[in-house]
Amino acid sequence: MTKKTFLRLDSPVQYIKGIGPKRSRYFEKVGVTTVDDLIHLVARRYVDHSTVSKIADIRINDQATVIGKAQLVEARRTRKHMSLVNVVLRDETGSVVLKWFNRPDLKNKFKRGDWLLVSGKVSFYRRQQFVNPLYELIGEEEISQKKRGSVFPIYPLTEGLSIWDIRRAVRIALDECLGDVAETLPESVIAKNHLAPLKRALQSLHFPVSLEEADAARKRLVYDEFFFFELILARRKAKLQCKAGIAFRDNGELTKRFRESLPFTLTQGQTQAVEKIVTDMARPKPMNRLLQGDVGSGKTVVALYAILVAIENGYQAVLMAPTEILAEQHYIVLHEMLQSVGVTPYLFTGSTKGKERTEVIDMIASGTAKLILGTHALIEEDITFKNLGLAVVDEQHRFGVMQRAALVNKGVNPDFLVLSATPIPRTLALTLYGDLDISIIKEKPPKRGEVITKIVKEKDKKATFSFIRDILAQGRQAFVICPIIEKSEKLELKSVQEVTKEITDAFPNFSVGVIHGRLNTKERMHIMNEYRLGKIEILVATTVVEVGVDIPNATIMLIEHPERFGLAQLHQLRGRIGRGAQESYCFLVLNRYVQPETYERIKFFERNNDGFALAQKDIRLRGPGEVLGKRQHGLPDIRVGDLEYDRELLFQARDDAFELIKTDPNISRPENEVIKAHLRNLADRAELLRIG
């Protein structure tokens, strides 16, 4: 007698009949490790069988969907040396040609006899055709599968995993486990927002009878994600507001002398940010503020003003950066800026060793060190502050919530200021950083030169080098950015080693320096100082120079393999130039073929200098987790919701979450027990819940 396997929501997906350990690896590649993951898997889109056309019925310029069997598959190169994949697709009424240009990855994707679902615009060249259409490889059994309605989901797939594999597994999972799914929202919230009950939504997600039902199922899952994301933020903010903090006064000589020593006037955005921060610091509650601004907008000066307010009130201040090189750059810049006011910054990173480490730790503990700059090394157990009053975190999305909390816990409810150079619209910022008050610096300091960005193909590099030589001959400097340090057999990418030789050979009359993360602190600081002084004219680097490097004389940046970087990271890199009055140039070198969507992304970057527009585009392309560091954020995942497409639902979920915490701070009312139970289930993934 065969032993029956009883599935639970937390059962590994391998225990679903027909999967097993080997096939479960395919499911893991699309984010499915448990039964619960599977029943929450959202389709990329849905196909309504009623809209699938017979091939004989399609017309030129129609947007059409057809299903057929591949009769002929060939791959070749055109006269213009483009790769071309041709497929002749036939159904019972006729045939049509499918063409994919510049898609060498499809060369071995199709074979004769494969069934394909194809969508795109019908065109004509000798005969009807689809050019670069969307496609799905489907099983023959899926074509007639209409028992549960005419709509079926197109899931994210990977090699070795078909839509039919997923549908079959989902059916088993729902049959055995749907009854175990617990509702996560009270009836009042469901009714108010016209949401489907969770069990019905999960059933409709996979087997909808109409596109409207599929949309309603997705809406329910999106609302859940947003609501619990915002609820944790609302809970954290409410608890922070109950704590007693330090009431700082801003009437000392330090801040006055600092402002007088600046060789420029603060912009309106900087002035407003300073006023908000000073007001926050004067309150007897801990400040918890996000200062957001585009690259080069002058956030550091604003943070420095807040630091001096804390110091002149007799407290210590700390600035924590995500990398040693950024901490080192802060140290160099702040050391110079603070000389006129008599404040000495101290640097403490993982590279601070031996006697120097002991001395700095002692000065922090005694209060002799008033301003400490460093990395996460500052949160180690043996670091004790005498009276920490202000904690500043730069590039905050790179730190986990536990790291940020550990820094704050070095003091007794110190004020907290976080800096971010990933600009996003205020409404979105309020939603994603709902536990923080927000200041945004929109404009950059005046008299900054324009930055011109240009895509360059490898074959045009000689002309680009000639242009760069002319600029360097005028006394300017250049950055050259590489994605990796050493040549890799697995990655066909230009390394720092290779590019340094190429640049040295191409620019024999100019001094070339190299910087990357494997150099020690003294080596990095020496190289950056030489570059700052103009002794190094071309600096070949990895992304260690992504943030914090301010060299007004650098007006050239050349980025190898820009396709390897997200838009936000490219914008950060480009932000290293254009800091002086001169015109600057950013060259994006494409060394090889890239996918059309990748090229369009790089083209968008070439056309846009607006950090807000680039961040929004990056969020749409890569998701908020990749751009804003949400995976370290200590919050539930946002896997279904789209921050742009679903923004109205996001705002509604935020309002509902904050209103609930306002009326039921401890989530203790009987009607909210389902919410509390789901929060417990999220606790492992939500560091914020434990901190709160």
Looking at residues 658-667, what average pLDDT do you find? 94
Phi (first) and psi of residue 610, to 5 degrees:
-80, 115
| Domain extent for 367 | 253-283+298-420
Looking at residues 130-156, what average pLDDT do you find? 71
Among 20-29, 610-619, 641-650, 671-680, the minimum mean pLDDT is found in 610-619
Task: Give the tens place of pLDDT for each residue, 219-270.
Answer: 999 999 999 989 988 988 888 778 888 999 987 789 999 999 988 889 999 9
d(CA 539, CA 430): 38
| pLDDT over 80 (residue 644) | no
Residues in contact with 503: Cβ distance below 8 Å, sequence separation at least 6, in sequence order: 480, 512, 538, 540
Q: CATH number of the domain that 461 lies in?
A: 3.40.50.300
pLDDT of residue 514: 95
How far is residue 387 from each of residues 284, 403, 410, measured CA to CA in Å? Answer: 16, 19, 9
The Cβ of residue 320 has, within 10 Å, a number of other Cβ atoms equal to 28
Residue 673 belongs to a domain: no
Of 139-153, 384-398, 496-510, 562-576, highest mean pLDDT: 496-510
d(CA 535, CA 459): 31
Of 106-115, 446-455, 660-669, highest mean pLDDT: 660-669
Q: Are residues 487 and 599 in the same domain?
A: yes
Residue 99 belongs to a domain: yes
Residue 642 belongs to a domain: no
Looking at residues 131-150, what average pLDDT do you find? 67
Task: Give the tens place of pLDDT for each residue, 317-369.
Answer: 999 988 888 888 889 889 988 988 999 999 999 888 999 999 999 999 999 99
Task: Give the tens place of pLDDT for each residue, 418-468.
Answer: 898 777 777 677 777 778 888 888 888 887 889 999 999 988 999 999 999
By the 8 A CB rule, do 110 and 87 touch? yes
Among 72-81, 536-545, 610-619, the minimum mean pLDDT is found in 610-619
Burial label, 211 (beta-carbon count in 10 A; 0-12, 13-18, 19+) = middle
Burial label, 411 (beta-carbon count in 10 A; 0-12, 13-18, 19+) = buried
Residue 371 belongs to a domain: yes
pLDDT of residue 344: 95
Residue 477 belongs to a domain: yes
**pTM above threshold 0.85:** no
Residues in contact with 501: Cβ distance below 8 Å, sequence separation at least 6, in sequence order: none
Q: Are residues 54 and 144 in the same domain?
A: yes
Q: Are residues 489 and 605 in the same domain?
A: yes
How far is residue 13 from each of residues 21, 42, 532, 639, measured CA to CA in Å? Answer: 9, 16, 56, 19
| pLDDT over 90 (residue 312) | yes
Q: Are residues 35 and 179 in the same domain?
A: yes
Q: Are residues 136 and 274 in the same domain?
A: no
The one-letter amino acid code at 571 reads: H
Instruction: Read off the pLDDT band of 689 (50, 70, 90).
Output: very low
Among 50-59, 196-205, 676-685, the minimum mean pLDDT is found in 676-685
Task: Give the tens place of pLDDT for each residue, 511-548.
Answer: 999 998 888 888 988 998 899 999 999 999 998 877 66
Q: Are residues 262 and 402 in the same domain?
A: yes
DSSP 8-state class, residue 495: B
Residue 455 belongs to a domain: yes
Q: Are residues 60 and 122 in the same domain?
A: yes
Q: At what angle do helices 163-177 and 198-206 cross, to 10 degrees?
A: 150
pLDDT of residue 276: 95
Looking at residues 63-87, what average pLDDT do you find? 89
CA-derived radius of gyration, the chain: 29
Residue bearing the bigger pLDDT, 310 or 433: 310
Phi (first) and psi of residue 352, to 5 degrees:
-80, 115
Looking at residues 602-629, what average pLDDT do you find? 79
Looking at residues 280-295, what average pLDDT do you find? 90
Looking at residues 38-53, what average pLDDT do you find? 84
pLDDT of residue 203: 96
Instruction: Output the DSSP codes for 637-687.
Output: ---S--TTTTHHHHHHHHHHHHHHHHH-TT--SGGGHHHHHHHHHHTTT-H
Q: What tokens does 483 get? A: 């994605």
Instruction: Read off the pLDDT band of 279 (50, 70, 90).
Output: very high
Helix H segments across 353-441? 354-366, 401-408, 426-432
d(CA 668, CA 661): 10
The Cβ of residue 234 has, within 10 Å, a number of other Cβ atoms equal to 22
Q: Are residues 261 and 146 in the same domain?
A: no
How far is residue 149 from each of residues 208, 235, 265, measured CA to CA in Å? Answer: 7, 42, 67
pLDDT of residue 144: 64
d(CA 302, CA 270): 6
| pLDDT over 50 (residue 630) | no
CA angle 329, 371, 272 (to 5 degrees): 80
| pLDDT over 90 (residue 476) | yes
How far is residue 220 from each of residues 206, 227, 509, 655, measured CA to CA in Å? Answer: 13, 10, 64, 16
Domain boundary among 373, 400, 420: 420
By the 8 A CB rule, do 61 and 33 touch? no
Beta strands in 81-114 (DSSP E): 83-91, 94-101
Q: Are residues 186 and 143 in the same domain?
A: no
Residue 678 belongs to a domain: no
The one-letter amino acid code at 425 reads: P
Q: Are residues 364 and 402 in the same domain?
A: yes
Of 4-8, 181-185, 244-248, highest mean pLDDT: 181-185
Domain boundary among 579, 609, 639: 609
pLDDT of residue 686: 46
Of 29-33, 349-353, 361-365, 391-395, highest mean pLDDT: 361-365
Residue 664 belongs to a domain: no
Q: Are residues 331 and 408 in the same domain?
A: yes
Q: Are residues 145 and 179 in the same domain?
A: no
d(CA 676, CA 324): 41
d(CA 62, CA 638): 35
Domains held by the chain: number: 4
